[in-house]
Structures are given as C-alpha cells and as structure tokens.
Amino acid sequence: MTHYLDHAATTPMLPAALEALVEQSARVGNPSSLHTSGRAARAVVEEARERIGAALGARPSEVVFTSGGTESDNLAVKGAWLARRALDPALDGVVASGIEHHAVLDPVEYLAGSRGVRVTWLEPDRCGHIGVDALREALAPGGVAVASVMWANNEVGTVQPVAELAAVAREHGVPFHTDAVQAVAHLPVRFDESGADLMTVSAHKIGGPVGVGALIARRDAPIVPIAHGGGQERQVRSGTLDAAGILAFAVALEETVAGRDVEAKRVLALRDRLIEGALGLGLGITVSGCWAPGDATRRLPGNAHLLVPGCEGDSLLYLLDAAGVECSTGSACQAGVPQPSHVLLAMGHTEAQARGALRLSFGRTSTEADVDAFLGALPGVVERARRAGGLS
C-alpha cells in the first residue's frame, strides 16, 4: 500500500471536480467562437469566473485565467515591472523575499540579469518569517516597481503577515504581489481583505486539475502581457481558454473553501502527531520553521518539514519510497536537482543541515495510517541512509 504524503506537490482531484472536467471535456466549443457551441463554452467560463471570484473575495473581472501558478507568478512579476517601468524609467527595482518559489525567484533573477533590475532580497528570520519593518526599509529609498512575498511557503509552511506587508507596500505606492498557491487549501484567503494588488492561485493544489490557475489582479493594477496572441484575458493573457479545466477549478475551489475549517483542523492533528512522533524517535531530528502543537497561524496546518542529521534528503526519499511512503525533500519543481534548498539556506541553516530535509504534507486523503507508516519506516530508513553515507 502506498502512503501519499506529498500534497504540497499536488493533491488528488476531488470527485466532483473530476466529474465536471470529464463532462465538460466531452463538449466542443472554443470560448472565443461566436457560434452556439462557442457561446455555451464562454458561458461556462464566465460562470466559473464568478464562482472563483466569490470564493476568493474578488470581483469576477479581477480573475485572469492562466495555465497555473508558474505562469501567474511570471505574469505578476514581469508584467508589473514592465508596466511600471514604462510609466517611469526610474522605477527599476524589485523587492522579493529570499524564500520565494522559483516561479517568482527565477523571473526576478531573469530581470536582474537581462534588464539590469535592482533587486532587494528580504531575508527571513530563523522561522522563515519576513518582517514588516524589513519591507518598509527596502521600499524607503523609492524606485521600486513591484514587491512580492508569498502567502505561505511551499517548503517549510511558514505563513506570512500578508495584509500587513501589503499595507506597507501601499503606503509607498508599490504594487504588491503574493503567491497564495499553498495557502488556499487550508487558510482563509480573501483577496479583498489581503490588500494585495496581485495574487497567484493554482487548481491542482486544491483538488482541481493540473494546468489551470489564475492571477487575481485588481483592475487598476499595472500589468502588461509577457506573451502575445489573442488577448483573451483582459488583453494581458493570451491563449484559448480551457473551459473544462476552469469549470473543474471552480468546483474544486468551492468545495475546498466550504470544508476548509474542518479539514484544516483534521490535517493539523495529523501534522502534529507526525512531528511529535518523529522528534520522539531519538534520531536527532529537528523541525525547520516555526512549530507549536495546535498552531496553524504561523505554519500551514498540513506541513511538516524535518531535518534529519547525517543523511542526504534524496537517500531518505528513495528509501521511504521503497517502504511505501511518498514524500519530498522540498519543492517538486526542483525535484532531481541535488542542491540544498535556497529556503533553508536563507533561514540560516548550513548546507549540511539543508541536505537532510524531508517535507511531508497532508491533504484530503491523508489518514492516521499514513502517519503510522512513516513513523514505522523512519528509524530503519535513517539507519540505512546514514550507513550508506558512511556516517553511522
């Protein structure tokens, strides 16, 4: 039996979302076509837009559909920088946290390398928190085109004070973007209450399909397209709209939001039991990021991130996989890259510490049996990993 503990990478589709996807996929019609089938597909898209907006505290006109989180992050960072720079060439700066997902990190580094953008990286504390004062200090000199700080970290689960950060950015007249991909499943994410100008969401983290997401963008947010074509989405995002995927996204989001409070408490209990059990094995394991039993305000309720001394994370992953437990060493988007996590290094961990990382994340299908399987396999896995590394 396989025990899946990698819901932060992707989570199984909800049955209702899968049903909607299959049913709509059987219907023909490009939402941009003017005939009957096209208008029917357009109606599906626009109804889904309204439902997604309502679930996230956004106006329907603020929902810009994309292919997922990576495209939305790129559109937010590059699109906002290009728009602001066009208005005022002196706006040549970008401020971002040092623990962003690579979908933000890499676009910022691209702008720095290709356009000479002045980048200020906000360094986290040991828990992974970004300080409001640090953002205020970074914005004080002026000349910043856009600032980006994620709502919740995809590796260590740290939750940021988004509303406070967005308020500081607004004081300085700087558009604020937040990547909320990991937050929506278990936190009360409301665009209208966040103060953000731009917010990234993705369907496959909440029980929807892979390949669809949205950038929630205020109507007055400065943003220009980074890819050109038909201009289907507010003239800032081109491409044929995936009516079936968008409908399934809406269905998954509504169901997730409706049951979020109950589900968050359930996975929180599983998370705490796993962490407490791992710490009690006498293997020298520590928890990265802030953690307190029962607390979901500073860390995602479904995230457990462990540091196992004397081990390589990849070895632990493969040995756990062989034992029927599936987890990760960090972001799935960096899978197969044998280098320590930039998130852990930014938080002050050494390379040796960062290399022994394991991320275990819970979702709708997670059970007590998954925790039991992990804790049962872990001592033998750690022993073998240390022996293989010559460190036992």
Residues 325-356: pLDDT tens digits? 999 997 555 555 568 999 999 999 999 999 99
**Residue 93 and residue 228 in one domain:** yes
Bridge-based pairing of strands 63-66 and 213-217 is antiparallel
* Cα–Cα distance for residue pair 305/355, rounded to 1 Å: 12
Domain boundary among 233, 257, 281: 257
Q: What is the mean pLDDT of residues 83-100?
A: 97
Q: The CATH number of the domain where 108 resides is what?
A: 3.40.640.10
**Residue 289 and residue 180 in one domain:** no
Catalytically active residues are 333
The average confidence (pLDDT) of the chain is 96
**Residue 221 and residue 112 in one domain:** yes
**Residue 377 and residue 230 in one domain:** no
**Residue 150 and residue 242 in one domain:** yes
Q: What is the mean pLDDT of residues 216-243?
A: 97
**Residue 213 and residue 306 in one domain:** no
**Residue 321 and residue 188 in one domain:** no
Q: What is the mean pLDDT of residues 214-224?
A: 97
| 47-73 pLDDT tens trace | 999 999 999 999 999 999 999 999 999
Q: Give, in order, the Cα–Cα distances in Å from 197 to each of 37, 100, 106, 122, 251.
A: 35, 17, 21, 19, 25
pLDDT of 314 strictly over 50? yes
**Residue 251 and residue 268 in one domain:** no
C-beta separation of 155 from 331 below 8 A: yes
Please report the pLDDT score of residue 273 as a whole number. 98
pLDDT of 316 strictly over 50? yes
Domain boundary among 257, 279, 295: 257
**Residue 242 and residue 298 in one domain:** no
pLDDT of 384 strictly over 70? yes
pLDDT confidence of 194, banded at 50, 70, 90?
very high
Domain around 242: 15-257
Which amino acid, 6? Answer: D
pLDDT confidence of 392, banded at 50, 70, 90?
very low
- To which residue do tokens 């001592």 refer? 379
Q: What is the mean pLDDT of residues 131-142?
A: 97
| 246-304 pLDDT tens trace | 999 999 999 999 999 999 999 999 999 999 999 999 999 999 999 999 999 999 999 99
**Residue 223 and residue 362 in one domain:** no
C-beta separation of 211 from 261 below 8 A: no
pLDDT confidence of 389, banded at 50, 70, 90?
confident
Q: What is the mean pLDDT of residues 85-104?
A: 97
Radius of gyration of the chain (CA): 21
Domain boundary among 235, 257, 279: 257
For CA atoms 99, 105, 108, 109, give the dihedral sign: positive
**Residue 148 and residue 251 in one domain:** yes
pLDDT confidence of 44, banded at 50, 70, 90?
very high
**Residue 233 and residue 266 in one domain:** no
pTM exceeds 0.85: yes
Q: Give, in order, the Cα–Cα distances in Å from 377 to each of 21, 183, 273, 317, 373.
A: 37, 29, 15, 11, 6
Please report the pLDDT score of residue 388 as a whole number. 85
Count of Cβ atoms closer than 10 Å to residue 197 Cβ: 26
Please report the pLDDT score of residue 330 as a whole number. 75
- How many domains does one find in the chain? 2
C-beta separation of 99 from 150 below 8 A: yes
Please report the pLDDT score of residue 338 as a whole number. 62
Q: The CATH number of the domain where 345 resides is what?
A: 3.90.1150.10
